[in-house]
Structure 1
Amino acid sequence: MKKEESYLKSPDLLPIAHKDKKIGTTGFAMMWVGMAVVLAAFAIGGAGVQSLSLTWVVLATLIGTIAIGFFITIIGDIGIEHGLSFPVYMRAPFGTLGTHIPSIVRGLAASFWFGINTYFGSTAMNAILNVLFGFDNWFICFMIFATVQLVNTSLGIKAVERFADLAAPVIILISVWMYISLSDQALAQGREVWRWIESPVTGGAAISAFLVVIFSNMGFWATISADIPSISRFIKAPQFERSWLKRNKGTLVGSIIALPLTQTFMVIIGGVSYIAVSNYDPVVALQEAATGLVLGILLLMIVLAQWSTNVSANLVPAATIFSNVGGPKVPFWAGVFIAGIIGSVVQPWSLFNILIPILLVVGGILSSIIGILYCDYYVLRKRRVNVPDLYEPNGQFRYARGVNLAGLIAWTIGGVAAYYLSTYSFLVGFVVGAVTYYFLAKFWWFKKYTQAEIIDPSDEKYLGLTVGRDWVIETDVEKVSVKEVGSTIEKGRD
């Protein structure tokens, strides 16, 4: 097998068969419970209550997270239908070589977030050990915490689900405890958590503040919305199901229900923390409100939260991307450790205050990819994909020396627009990216490089789960075969 073909057919990037989809609806929902407990969510609440009442902050958060959850489910259909990961499908709108440019940006962002979350979790771990045993060395905690996360994730996606099943209930219970503790502390200072506002705004300023909370929540999860196929390809879904809603039930429950509820509760904790001690970091507030074993248990929530977030939201997507870039010589487990090394060498403990705004801006820029993916998958290809050619060095996705200029130009324009309108970056990036890509691809690029599934939008040739097909890419010979599952009658069912 030629080197380039081998590189495109890295074993960890092959389509996931129906029998290998192991994550159930509940499992994915529990993953969201773990992923949504992060420092940035606390910050949204803390910033929000400086201008709005906690009630309005909660309403804005629900609107923003339900909206982004819907976008996550839309893009997740790529993994559900065809079993494809984010970097592999990106070969369609960006080319077999061009896919690496935006993918690496996302991979680096995920790696940086891994470092930041690991540092935050290690400080909580250090505080626990200090309370219980008098131990005080956050750097050793950082190295231990990072290593344990990397080993856990390298065991595979099922290990991720098992950990999420364990962590999620603990996180929920301790979160309730945190809310009660912080609320009591705020009331002791004469501040009613649902009415107190540091600097109330009215009129147009109130509307702007409300919109900022909405788009802050959407922008924060923009990166997951883009590369959700890397996770959704492992989610169970019924074969021969023509209904989009029924087929995507597994992602809908997690993204439309579990994410908004968990994210909103974390925003509430951040807001109450700020009301209590003028700091959105609940660790600071808890250290003033609790001591001894109680404080240690509360801090455990921080450790579990960063762990579960890193595994699902950062390490899995980053490892998949790095594996795609490196080919067969970089298996999934190696990609996990590459992400861990990158996230550590940037020294998140010294760049913490700089990296967070940078990463949020990067998330806004990446939102234009979501628009491009939506346009390419739903509008232009109508969910039909010539999957075998995604793994062929000289197939239809090679374009101009492996690059789809329509995708790169649209991403650049959408990213620049999102950067300069960062407050509304998700909406701006999505719309500009999608519209620009539509016109460039449809009326220019695909005129030069024809796409089989667009010329002949056949269900039988180019759909996956809907017609009971497992895409099977053979790596030992220079050919691609497709395994048909079910009878001809079943496959042709409307």
Structure 2
Amino acid sequence: MGKKKNYLKSPDLLPISEQGRTITSFGYSFMWIGMVVVLATFAIGGAGVINLSLPYVIIATIIGSLAIGLFISLTADIGIEHGLSFPVYMRAPFGTIGTHIPSIVRGVTASMWFGINTYFGSTAINAILNLLYGFDNWFICFLLFAIVQMVNTALGIKAVERFADLAAPIIIIISCWMYVSLSNTASAQGRDVWSWVESPVTGGAAFTAFLVVIFSNMGFWATLSADIPSISRFMKAPKNERSWLKRNKSSLIGNLIALPLTQTFMVVIGGVSYIAVMNYDPIVGLQQAASGFALGILLLMIVLAQWSTNISANIVPAATIFSNVGGPKFPFWAGVISAGIVGTVVQPWNLFGIIIPVLLFVGGILSAIVGILVADYYLLRKRRVNVPDLYETTGQYRYLNGVNIPGFIAWILGGGASYFVPSYSFLVGFFVGAGSYYMLAKYWWFIKYKQAEIEDPDDEKYLGITVGRDWFIEESLDEVKDNIIGGPPVTDIGTLKQ
């Protein structure tokens, strides 16, 4: 009888070596261009211009985007330094079993976003087909669009990057066209998009509205700031580079340049759309602002944007999480299918009107996880990680029956605090989560459950690419045999040697 299989060693979750990292700074920036173009981004602009002039909405968006870009860059280093995905590193602050609970919350949230964006894209596809052939059945468009996206993602991260490279330039060009079309509609109605507001407010109300735009932008990307390691582990980075800034160059360019620029432009389009036709949904605005071939091209941009967004920001993270929960016999492609099923079962077409504030609330809860990750990785372990033990059922991250209690206490405190101050949910959740986790872990839990990298902070033992290391996770002969015979496809077996 063979040795019991280690459920933590799914081939799709093993550390990515330097050779396996294919995403360049250019490719990552293009991913951001595609990820930002979603209905919720337009909604921030539409809601903003109700109380503020467009220039103030732009300033608030830039501030919020730069702030969340910084948080994303901090957590991205986990993937860049050690090649680890989000659910695997979560074993450190939550335990080898406890990691599943917060991971599933993020996975379900990502799947719901997948459903929302697929529905948004399917309405555009339906409009195109109706324009060309008189076809009118958005649900069939939804199912077909979902299947195509899942197949694209299941082909691997290189296919994701190649699609982003194709879609991004088209999205940029057509976004400019969209802006001009909507601006002309507004001008034709005698509305100046750079000064007109609906029910303008002043004083304290204006300041509050300004803060709401800032934290809406931050809350919107809170989910990705938690699980960005699932993408950043595929980013190219220099070996033996001690400088954090140089090592994270690709991440910083995408998070602090591509994200703020694209986010701001799309918020502007949402604001202009609301000014032009009293609706932040550009599909509605475009159908009034354009017709014929021009309308078809503009709607095609919406489709490409949802496709690109869903793959990078939603399906990849969700599939990685579900694969982690399912264990070695539940490969990445099965996680992709699971994400698609969850995204459909929640019926995004019925939840469409309320789902954005709900998911922003969830973002506030997840901000506590971001705080816990930052405190655990930077303040306690100082970027040093005992990576092999992350894959051991009886290693140092087992804690109490697989659960790290301070992680859950801090998550409850941070998430609960964010609930009472929704306008500041991200910052409150982050700092309460980080502070409480640091105090509980350092002065209580880690005294009882010793952590090797904290007791002996040796660079050569516990750093990754900074000291030129590719982490190698050994598997038993039975595990290798199971993986080859009944596990992942041949293309995944190579990760066993990384």
TM bucket (normalised to shorter chain) is over 0.9
Corresponding position of 2:484: none
Which residue number corresponds to residue 60 of structure 1?
A: 60
| CA–CA separation in structure 2 for the residues paired with 1:244 and 1:345 | 42
1:279 corresponds to 2:288: no
Following superposition, the deviation at residue 421 of structure 1 comes to: 1.0
CA distance in 2, matches of 1:357, 1:202: 25
1:342 is aligned to 342
Residue 160 of structure 1 is matched in structure 2 by 160
State the match for 2:148 in structure 1.
148
Unaligned runs of 5+ in 2: 481-495
Q: Show the counterpart of 1:100.
A: 100
How far 1:476 sits from its partner (Å)? 3.0
Aligned alpha-carbon RMSD (Å): 1.5
TM-superposed CA distance for 1:319, in Å, is: 0.3
User: Contact 1:470–1:484 (CA<8 Å) still a contact in 2?
Assistant: no
The residue number in structure 1 matching 2:424 is 424
Deviation string for 1:326-379 (max 9, x for gaps)?
011110011001000110111111221132222111111001001000000000
Equivalent position of 1:361 in the other structure: 361
Distance 1:129 1:409, change over 3 A: same
CA distance in 2, matches of 1:45, 1:367: 22
The residue that corresponds to 1:39 in the other structure is 39
Q: Deviations over 1:54-78 (max 9, x none)?
A: 0000000001001111110110000
Q: Which residue of the partner structure matches residue 389 of structure 2?
A: 389
Aligned to 2:492: none
Q: CA deviation at 1:477?
A: 4.4
- Is the Cα–Cα contact under 8 Å of residues 6 and 479 in structure 2 kept in the other structure? no
| 2-structure distance, mates of 1:273, 1:280 | 5
Give runs of aligned pairs for residues 76-155 of structure 1, distance below 5 A. 76-155=76-155
1:19 partner SS? coil
- Structure 2 residue identity aligned to 1:464: G
Task: Please name the residue that 2:485 is paired with.
Answer: none
Alignment-derived partner of residue 19 in structure 2:
19
Q: Deviations over 1:268-296 (max 9, x none)?
A: 00000000011100111110111111111
The residue type equivalent to 1:288 in the other structure is Q
1:208-260 CA deviation, whole Å, 9 max, x = no partner? 11111001000000000000000000000000000000000010001100010
Alpha-carbon distance in structure 2 between the residues aligned to 1:425 and 1:340: 29
Query: Matches of residues 63-462 of structure 1 in structure 2 within 5 Å?
Result: 63-462=63-462
Q: Distance in 1 between matches of 2:45 and 2:351?
A: 22
SS in 2 for 1:196: coil
Distance 2:139 2:109 in 1: 22
Contact 2:472–2:497 (8 Å) recurs in 1: no
More displaced 10-residue stretch of structure 1: 153-162 or 203-212: 203-212
Q: Report the counterpart of residue 491 of structure 2 in structure 1.
A: none
Helix, strand or coil at the partner of 1:470: coil
* Separation in 1, partners of 2:479, 2:288: 65
* Structure 1 pair 440–308 and aligned structure 2 pair: CA distance change class (3 A): same
Rounded Cα–Cα distance in structure 2 between residues aligned with 1:478 and 1:359:
42
Q: Secondary structure at the match of 1:7?
A: coil
* Offset at residue 2 of structure 1 (A): 4.7
For residue 225 of structure 2, what is the amino acid of its counterpart? S
- Note the C-alpha offset of 1:484: 13
SS at match of 2:471: strand
- Percent of pairs identical after alignment? 74
Which secondary structure state, in structure 1, belongs to the residue aligned with residue 6 of structure 2? helix
Which region of structure 1 is more displaced relative to structure 2, 349-358 or 208-217? 349-358
Distance in 2 between the 1:145 and 1:69 partners? 30
Equivalent residue number for residue 486 of structure 2: none
Q: Counterpart of 1:201 in 2: which secondary structure?
A: coil
Amino acid at match of 2:258: A
User: Which AA in structure 2 matches 1:415?
Assistant: G
Q: CA deviation at 1:200?
A: 1.2
Amino acid of the residue matched to residue 385 of structure 2?
V
Judge conservation of contact 1:132–1:293 (CA < 8 Å) in 2. Answer: no
Give the CA deviation at 1:6.
2.2
Cα deviation for residue 89 of structure 1 reads 0.2
CA contact (8 A) 1:468 1:484 kept: no
Map of 2:489 onto structure 1: none
Instruction: Say whether the 8 Å CA contact 2:21–2:235 is kept in structure 1.
Output: yes
Q: Residue 351 of structure 2 aligns to which amino acid in structure 1? A: L
255 and 26 in structure 1: CA distance in 2 versus 1, 3 angstrom threshold: same
Amino acid corresponding to residue 93 of structure 1 in structure 2? P
Amino acid in structure 2 at the alignment position of 1:117: N
Q: Distance in 1 between matches of 2:187 and 2:19?
A: 53
Secondary structure of 2:470's match? strand
Q: What is the alpha-carbon distance in structure 2 between the residues aligned to residue 441 and residue 340 of structure 1?
A: 37
> Is 2:396–2:450's contact at 8 Å kept on the other side of the alignment?
yes
Aligned counterparts of 2:6 and 2:72: Cα–Cα separation in 1: 31
Task: Provide the TM-score with structure 1 as the length reference.
Answer: 0.96
Shift, 1:475, TM fit: 2.0
Where do 5+ consecutive residues of structure 1 fail to align? 486-494
